[in-house]
Amino acid sequence: MALTRLKDRANRHRQRRWSLLCLILLLGACDNPRGLQATDPPYRPVANPQQLMQWILDPAADVIWDSAGTIITAEGRQELAPTTSAGWESVSAAAITLSEAGNLLMLPGRSMGNDWQEYAQALVSAGEQAFKASESRDADGLFDAGGQIFQVCKACHAQYWIREGDGR
């Protein structure tokens, strides 16, 4: 019995050594195949921050805002929340687009400093909140996420809005 335990222990040690050797060899094989320097980014931004806002972020935010809340008029009450799977999927896609746009705003060459980064990170979080709400078909949660998106946009624009003739 004791001999069996010793053999088992020796086999486990042998397996661990082989696993460690394989891991070391595998990590060594993960060399930089194209010779890129660690500082060379593997991306090339094409759009400037204003174009990202206008063509990616704003349309995504509009889908979320147009799908949350209630409109009350003399004719009655209209709920804006989607009523079909396709409608909710559209909101989910917009929420992910909005979150990823926040990531794009943080890339070097687009970032305008620490506050900018914080706003962009808050945008990513608000988009995630909208995505979770849309995936769970939570109209109230989507409304709350839309409010969070609005607050992030408002705070960022108060600091970084570029007005014509502003020179920024």
Q: Which of 8, 10, 120, 133 is nearest to 64 (CA)?
A: 133
Q: Which conformational region is residue 137 in: left (phi greater than 0), alpha (psi within -120 to 50 degrees), or beta?
A: left
Contact 84, 76 (CB under 8 A): no
- Per-residue pLDDT 10s for the chain (168 aa) are 555 554 555 555 556 555 544 445 444 555 555 555 566 667 788 898 889 999 999 999 999 999 998 899 999 999 889 999 999 999 999 999 999 999 999 988 888 889 999 999 999 999 999 999 999 999 999 999 999 999 999 999 999 886 665 544
Q: Read off the pTM.
A: 0.71
